[in-house]
């Protein structure tokens, strides 16, 4: 049993790429669901658009990485418009149905056999297409900071960029939600007829929130594509969206730092449980008759699920939430 | 001193509105001398049920007009249609010079015709002051591109806050300004909703049962506030079931029953109208009517002494 190693791996995961990707996705959901009350269950679709724009434009079409990022962001805007125009005038649940279906449409499209030459089918696209980004890497070797240890100079660089990006989005969210714009979207979340009766164009504000959150979600995909230098369609299944929601609720919806802290804790717990179980099984402390090493992957999700249930029961407002606000729902 | 001057100046405003109505005949759909709102041939049905079937309604500028009628008469549906919250099956209506058919509710509010709700819609999770600020129109900070730059809108925000605090003082809600609106009583919510509607700087305000579920002491102050609105030159159209309140403040009463306007006129005469009494009590009534009629007049006497 090497607890030191377990902690190093877990703490490194807290700041690692996966945490950043899901923090970005959850930051987008926070604008949509947390502040505006839009049930976007298609965040995976927005992320897939970002990721595939990068991979297709660079690897398949041989264009510049910067152009591909720009296309990814524009793609998210267009996707938001397509989803929002028919649904945002309707009740909230329609958006949920349409978004979850649309995200699946995107995933099934990019993994389809007939479009193999553009999207690479179920294997996705792999290649060294993010060279332009890594050419700016100022680190010539992997950095380590206390218990946090990165594998390579590349990983160090993209992680730093990721956290700067998160910082900027957190700052933008904070500025927006304390502005009169934030006041309007919060009023829509609570009672859109009240905002309407006060002369607010509810549809327009919902559209803005959907698109802004979607663009942030597409950044998660863009980041993932650059970090891994590969895209796989099944990474963008509904599971991606549900993890992002879990993270948002864990951290506390409608809290500026909620998604970031939620993502850090979620991935810490997941990696910590996974690593601990692996070592417990490997050293024979947990015998094979109870748990085999190939079952750990599933069991850690069960334990995370249990932890989340306990959280919802004992702290429904999330880590940062304000209990008083929840109490007001009961009136 | 200024308050007194304002009162005497505004006395003439409300007096003029009332005086203008004095020559108007008491018949359904009659044209008023200075119309701010005209609705014609409004029809709204839900399946086979005709909820609203109004031939004509005209509202005098600067007056307090009450819309009364038994439960299920279609008052609130009519209100929803006028304010753009419901789409009628037929009909046109005009506010000032604006054709309102096919106008979205938010646009109607922006034009200066603002409504409140029968079941109050205060935003429970926002503070009283934030509720008020939300009402202000044309805020630069509500535009997404300006919102991240506080220096662009902080000046306007200060003015909005100033106005909100003035209104909160007037409605005796100043001490509550930092509380969540969800912690307030039903009556306070009615007050907040009215104050918030005033933040939009309307010319006409539509109140859906402003006195429902409010205790008698607060009712008096609500009535006072509504009269003040008229004195400031606003037009008030309100739905109410409390006949004493209607008699007390309204200049004109419109009576609806089964989706139609069956009578209108000054409060004193309309309440003696046979069609109105029939609508409320049924056409075949005997002693019951005299009893309730007596108790009504007794109430009135008790009040006036």
Per-residue pLDDT in tens (0 to 9) along chain B, 305 residues: 344 444 444 455 667 777 788 888 888 888 999 999 999 999 999 988 999 999 999 999 999 999 999 988 999 999 999 999 999 999 999 999 999 999 999 999 999 999 999 999 999 999 999 999 999 999 999 999 999 999 999 999 999 999 999 999 999 999 999 999 999 988 899 999 999 999 999 999 999 999 888 888 888 889 999 999 999 999 999 999 888 889 999 999 999 999 999 999 999 888 888 888 888 877 665 555 455 545 555 554 554 44
From the candidates B80, B120, B123, B138, which should be mutated to test the interface with A, based on the most A CB atoms within 10 A?
B123
A187:B139 CB<8 A: no
The more confidently predicted of residues A294 and A194 is A194
User: How far, in whole angstroms, is CA B166 from its chain's centroid?
Assistant: 21
Q: Give the model's confidence band at A92: pLDDT under 50 very low, under 70 low, under 90 confident, else very high.
A: confident
CB burial class (10 A; 0-12, 13-18, 19+) of residue B289? Answer: middle
A180:B117 CB<8 A: no
B148:A172 CB<8 A: yes
Which element (helix H / strand E) includes A167? Answer: helix A153-177
Q: Is the pLDDT of residue A171 over 60?
A: yes
Residue A10 falls inside a structural domain: yes
CA proximity to A316, closest of A304, A306, A326, A329: A326
Nearest residue in B to A325, CA atom: B125
The three-point CA angle B54-B57-B61 to 5° equals 160
Any A CB within 8 A of B110 CB: yes
Q: Give the model's confidence band at A286: pLDDT under 50 very low, under 70 low, under 90 confident, else very high.
A: confident
Residue A142 falls inside a structural domain: no
**Domain tally for chain A?**
1
Any B CB within 8 A of A195 CB: yes
- For A197-231, the pLDDT digits (tens) are 999 999 999 999 999 999 999 999 999 999 999 99
Residue A139 falls inside a structural domain: no
B123:A186 CB<8 A: yes
Phi, psi angle pair for A126, to nearest 5°:
-130, 140
Residue with tokens 């730093």: A160
CA proximity to B49, closest of B104, B10, B14, B89: B89
A99 Cβ contact partners less than 8 Å away, ≥ 6 residues apart:
A39, A40, A41, A42, A45, A83
Any B CB within 8 A of A186 CB: yes
Any A CB within 8 A of B197 CB: yes
B250 Cβ contact partners less than 8 Å away, ≥ 6 residues apart:
B64, B65, B66, B238, B267
Alpha helices in B150-286 (DSSP H): 150-170, 186-199, 216-231, 243-249, 267-270, 274-281
Any A CB within 8 A of B119 CB: no
B85:A193 CB<8 A: yes
Per-residue pLDDT, A253:
87
Q: Is the pLDDT of residue A162 over 70?
A: yes
Residue A324 falls inside a structural domain: yes
Alpha helices in B232-262 (DSSP H): 243-249
Q: Considering only CB atoms, which chain B residues are within 8 Å of A196?
A: 85, 104-106, 109
Distance between CA atoms of B65 and A258, rounded to whole angstroms? 50
CB neighbourhood size of A221 (10 A): 32
Per-residue pLDDT, B12:
59
Of B121, B139, B147, the CB nearest to A191: B121
Any B CB within 8 A of A323 CB: no
Nearest residue in B to A205, CA atom: B144
A180:B141 CB<8 A: yes
Q: How far apart are the first and last CA of chain B?
A: 29
Any B CB within 8 A of A331 CB: yes
Nearest residue in B to A173, CA atom: B148
Any A CB within 8 A of B139 CB: yes
Q: Considering only CB atoms, which chain B residues are within 8 Å of A182?
A: 147
Domain carrying residue A232: 3-133+151-330
Token pair recorded at residue A94: 């329609």
Any B CB within 8 A of A30 CB: no
* C-alpha distance from B113 to closest chain A C-alpha (Å): 9
Distance between CA atoms of A66 and A68, rounded to whole angstroms? 5
Residue A144 falls inside a structural domain: no
B150:A208 CB<8 A: no
**Mean pLDDT on A278-306:** 87
Alpha helices in A30-152 (DSSP H): 43-55, 65-87, 92-110, 116-119, 131-134
B124:A328 CB<8 A: yes
B19 Cβ contact partners less than 8 Å away, ≥ 6 residues apart:
none
Domains (range + CATH), chain B: 2-122+200-304 (3.40.50.300), 126-183 (no CATH)
Residue A146 falls inside a structural domain: no
Nearest residue in A to B151, CA atom: A179
Distance between CA atoms of B73 and A252, rounded to whole angstroms? 46
Of A179, A191, A200, the CB nearest to B153: A179
CB neighbourhood size of B174 (10 A): 14
* pTM for the predicted model, two decimal places: 0.91
SS (H, E, C) A182-227: HHHHHHHHHCHHHHHHCCCCHHHHHHHHHHHHHHHHHHHHHHHHHH
**Mean pLDDT on A232-237:** 96
A184:B134 CB<8 A: yes
Mode of pairing for the β-strands spanning B235-239 and B35-46: unpaired
Any A CB within 8 A of B106 CB: yes
CB-CB contact of A246 with A62 (8 Å): no
Per-residue pLDDT, B145:
96
Residue with tokens 């249930």: A309
CB neighbourhood size of A331 (10 A): 8
Average pLDDT taken over every residue of chain A: 92
Q: Return the beta strands (E) in chain B as ranges.
A: 35-46, 49-60, 64-68, 90-95, 98-99, 113-115, 204-208, 235-239, 252-257, 260-265
Q: Is the pLDDT of residue A154 over 80?
A: yes
* C-alpha distance from B175 to closest chain A C-alpha (Å): 19
Distance between CA atoms of A83 and A86, rounded to whole angstroms? 7
B123:A191 CB<8 A: yes
Any A CB within 8 A of B248 CB: no
A197:B114 CB<8 A: yes
- For A253-282, the pLDDT digits (tens) are 889 999 999 999 999 989 999 999 999 998
Residue A143 falls inside a structural domain: no
The more confidently predicted of residues B5 and A115 is A115
DSSP single-letter state for residue A257: T
A201:B123 CB<8 A: no
Which region among A34-38, A104-108, B208-212 has the lowest average model confidence (pLDDT)?
Answer: B208-212
Distance between CA atoms of B280 and B257, rounded to whole angstroms? 8
Residue with tokens 């809108």: B153
Q: To the nearest whole percent, how much of chain A has pLDDT over 90? A: 70
From the candidates A179, A202, A322, which should be mutated to test the interface with B, based on the most B CB atoms within 10 A?
A179
Token pair recorded at residue B216: 């008698």
A179:B110 CB<8 A: no
CA proximity to B239, closest of B218, B219, B211, B261: B211
**Mean pLDDT on A232-244:** 95
* CATH value at residue A209: 1.10.3470
A179:B199 CB<8 A: no
Between the CA of residue A68 and those of A34, A60, A62, A154, A250, what are the distances in Å? 29, 11, 10, 20, 33
CB neighbourhood size of A112 (10 A): 14
Any B CB within 8 A of A200 CB: yes
Residue with tokens 């990707």: A21
Residue A25 falls inside a structural domain: yes
């Amino acid at each position: 049993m090497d607890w030191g190693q377990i902690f190093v791996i877990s703490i490194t995961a807290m700041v690692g790429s996966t945490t950043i990707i899901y923090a970005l996705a959850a930051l987008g959901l926070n604008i949509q669901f947390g502040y505006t009350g839009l049930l976007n269950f298609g965040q995976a679709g927005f992320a897939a658009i970002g990721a595939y724009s990068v991979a297709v434009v660079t690897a398949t079409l041989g264009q510049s990485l910067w152009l591909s990022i720009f296309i990814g962001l524009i793609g998210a805007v267009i996707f938001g418009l397509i989803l929002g125009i028919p649904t945002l005038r309707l009740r909230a649940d329609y958006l949920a149905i349409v978004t979850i279906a649309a995200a699946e449409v995107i995933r099934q499209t990019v993994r389809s056999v007939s479009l193999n030459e553009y999207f690479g089918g179920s294997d996705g696209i792999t290649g060294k297409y993010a060279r332009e980004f890594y050419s700016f890497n100022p680190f010539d070797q992997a950095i380590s900071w206390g218990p946090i240890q990165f594998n390579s100079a590349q990983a160090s660089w993209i992680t730093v960029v990721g956290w700067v990006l998160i910082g900027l989005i957190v700052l933008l969210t904070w500025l927006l939600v304390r502005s009169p714009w934030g006041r309007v979207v919060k009023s829509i979340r609570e009672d859109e007829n009240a905002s309407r009766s006060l002369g607010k164009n509810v549809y327009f504000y919902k559209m803005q929130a959907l698109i802004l959150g979607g663009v942030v979600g597409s950044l998660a995909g863009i980041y993932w594509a650059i970090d891994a230098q590969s895209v796989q369609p099944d990474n963008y299944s509904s599971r991606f969206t549900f993890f992002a929601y879990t993270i948002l609720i864990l951290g506390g919806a409608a809290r500026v730092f909620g998604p970031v802290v939620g993502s850090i804790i979620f991935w810490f717990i997941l990696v910590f449980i996974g690593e601990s179980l692996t070592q417990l099984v490997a050293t024979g402390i947990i015998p094979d008759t109870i748990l085999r090493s190939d079952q750990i992957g599933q069991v850690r999700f069960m334990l995370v699920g249990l932890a989340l249930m306990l959280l919802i029961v004992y702290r429904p407002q999330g880590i940062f939430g304000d209990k008083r606000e929840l109490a007001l729902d009961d009136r | 001193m200024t308050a007194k001057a304002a009162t005497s100046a505004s006395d003439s405003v409300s007096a003029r509105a009332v005086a203008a109505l004095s020559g108007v005949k008491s018949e359904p759909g009659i044209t008023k001398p200075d119309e701010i709102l005209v609705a014609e041939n409004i029809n709204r049905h839900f399946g086979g049920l005709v909820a609203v079937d109004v031939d004509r309604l005209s509202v005098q500028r600067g007056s307090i007009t009450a819309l009364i009628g038994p439960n299920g008469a279609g008052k609130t549906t009519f209100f929803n249609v006028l304010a753009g919250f419901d789409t009628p099956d037929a009909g046109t209506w005009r506010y000032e010079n604006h054709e309102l058919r096919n106008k979205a509710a938010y646009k109607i509010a922006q034009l200066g015709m603002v409504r409140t709700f029968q079941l109050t819609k205060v935003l429970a999770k926002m503070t009283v002051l934030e509720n008020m600020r939300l009402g202000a129109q044309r805020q630069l900070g509500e535009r997404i591109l300006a919102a991240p730059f506080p220096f662009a809108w902080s000046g306007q925000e200060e003015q909005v806050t100033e106005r909100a605090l003035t209104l909160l003082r007037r409605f005796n809600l100043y001490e509550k300004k930092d509380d969540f609106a969800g912690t307030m009583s039903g009556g306070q919510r009615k007050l907040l909703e009215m104050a918030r509607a005033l933040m939009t700087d309307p010319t006409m305000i539509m109140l859906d049962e402003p006195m429902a579920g409010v205790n008698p002491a607060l009712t008096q102050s609500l009535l006072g506030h509504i009269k003040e609105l008229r004195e400031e030159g606003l037009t008030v159209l309100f739905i109410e079931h409390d006949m004493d309140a209607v008699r007390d403040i309204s200049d004109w009463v419109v009576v609806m029953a089964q989706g139609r306007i069956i009578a209108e006129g000054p409060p004193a005469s309309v309440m003696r109208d046979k069609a109105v009494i029939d609508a409320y009590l049924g056409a075949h009534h005997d002693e019951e009517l005299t009893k309730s009629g007596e108790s009504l007049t007794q109430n009135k006497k008790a009040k006036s002494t």
